[in-house]
Amino acid sequence: MKWKIKPNRNRKIYHLFYAKSGMYIVVVIILFVAIGLLTTIKPAYRISSNTITNWTSKIDSSIFLYLLGLENRSFRHAFPEDESPPGLSKTLFQMATSMRPDDPRSLLGQEIPGFALFGNRIIVAGKGTDYTNLPIESSPPLEDVLREREAVIEETDEDDQTKQSIPDTAEKKVVFIYNTHNRESFLPHLPDIDDPDLAHHDEVNVTKISERLAESLEVNGIGAIVDETDIMDVLNEKDWEYGQSYEASRQVVEEAFSTNEHLNFVFDIHRDGMSRKHTTMEMEGETYAKIMFVVGEEHDTYENNLALATQLNDLIEETYPGLSRGVITKGGSGNNGIYNQDVSENALTIEIGGVGNDMEELYRSADILAEIFSEFYWDAEEVNVNVGEDE
């Protein structure tokens, strides 16, 4: 028996076929045009990887699991049976606005000054640390950061350090120190500046703390490298904004790891924007700049970084109670959330002092940090040696 298809049905099939074909052609054309735009426009106008990271970090992880399940059935077993697939409109809304409908803080954090700080978590609270005085990561216009300013600094005898008779890393550089916000400076050394947001200088800045920290580590037998890249110049050359600082410094960290096989620890040194009363302590007649450990929680291995920060914090508190402001994690709307710490499980962001501290206070604290870290490092090395001998 032969089946006959009515002419009007044939027309519907043809129309449907051509409609679908036309839709696919349009999608392909749009895709090629988009790729062409992204690869030919000037770098300053391209969507940066940092932007893409910020977009995707706002998306619920179950969405990615669901998408994988569309291609590979094995992933569907990991998706909760009682949970419906994520809605497209909700996902697009989160990407476009950085707000989560089920989390009012994502809206309030953008509208109320200072409210975004409550997205951070205090893991270990140092003396006097609470949610009202967490580190402030300012984002001034780049032109303000690059502006020339007068600075006054007097080097002291405290710079002279004698190398102790202890083990050393045999000229191997195992610690890498850099400064993402390398021009962060200090009001006591900027006589013409009284606004914390303008406390930036091309020479008198946090890089001096990094240099001091490296020197103190060397005294304790630990080889260290201090990166001298002016990240602010890099931003200016690339026509990037201040908020892209971590994207620029990431290239520095990755290059350091690719050219030095012995590097194991990475410290990004900053100074806080909080006032002096929150970042200073007195101990045995001397004033010190307080230290705080910051861990980005928006990458898969952040718990390893957090463990290192907590260990160092505890060691400081044992010997110098009150010097550490504690350990916090950062993530969510308005925060980078990674801080290049996904490059190594031993990568940390360390706030040493604040905008109101002077170099003497900062150097004293850098020496203590080097002392504590050295104890931690050599104790760990001794454990590794003993384990190796047992095996």
> What is the structure's pLDDT at 286?
95
Structure tokens at 292: 């705080």
Q: What is the pLDDT of residues 241-282, one digit of tens each?
A: 988 999 999 999 999 999 999 999 999 999 998 889 999 999
**48 compared with 73, residue with greater pLDDT:** 73
- Reported as a pLDDT band with limits 50, 70 and 90, residue 147 is confident
- What torsion, rounded to 10 degrees, do the Cα atoms 147, 152, 153, 154 define? 160
For the chain, the average pLDDT equals 78
The answer to whether residue 390 scores a pLDDT higher than 50 is no
Q: What is the distance in angstroms between the CA of the first residue and the CA of the last residue of the chain? A: 81
- Reported as a pLDDT band with limits 50, 70 and 90, residue 143 is confident
The answer to whether residue 12 scores a pLDDT higher than 60 is no
28-32, 54-58, 163-167, 272-276: which has the minimum mean pLDDT? Answer: 54-58
- Reported as a pLDDT band with limits 50, 70 and 90, residue 380 is confident
100 φ, ψ (degrees, to nearest 5): -105, 125
90-94, 207-211, 238-242, 251-255: which has the minimum mean pLDDT? Answer: 90-94
Burial class (CB in 10 A: 0-12, 13-18, 19+), 55: middle
Which residue in this structure is represented by tokens 């809206």?
Answer: 107
> What is the structure's pLDDT at 305?
96
Which residues are registered as beta bridge partners of 329?
A: 121, 295
Burial class (CB in 10 A: 0-12, 13-18, 19+), 233: middle
CA angle 12, 18, 21 (to 5 degrees): 140
Tell me if 166 sits within 8 A of 220, measured CB to CB: yes
Tell me if 332 sits within 8 A of 276, measured CB to CB: no
125: three-class secondary structure by DSSP: strand
Q: What is the pLDDT of residues 50-84, one digit of tens each?
A: 455 555 555 555 566 666 666 676 666 655 555 55
**229 compared with 160, residue with greater pLDDT:** 229
DSSP 305: H
> pTM value?
0.69
Q: What is the pLDDT of residues 325-341, one digit of tens each?
A: 999 998 876 677 899 99
Tell me the mean pLDDT in the region 104-128: 60
> What is the structure's pLDDT at 387?
43
DSSP 147: S
Which is nearest to 353 in space by CA: 293, 291, 294? 291
- Reported as a pLDDT band with limits 50, 70 and 90, residue 312 is very high
Which residues are registered as beta bridge partners of 289?
A: 280
- Reported as a pLDDT band with limits 50, 70 and 90, residue 170 is confident
Residues 107, 100: Cα–Cα separation, whole Å: 8
- Reported as a pLDDT band with limits 50, 70 and 90, residue 127 is confident
State the Rg of the chain over Cα: 26
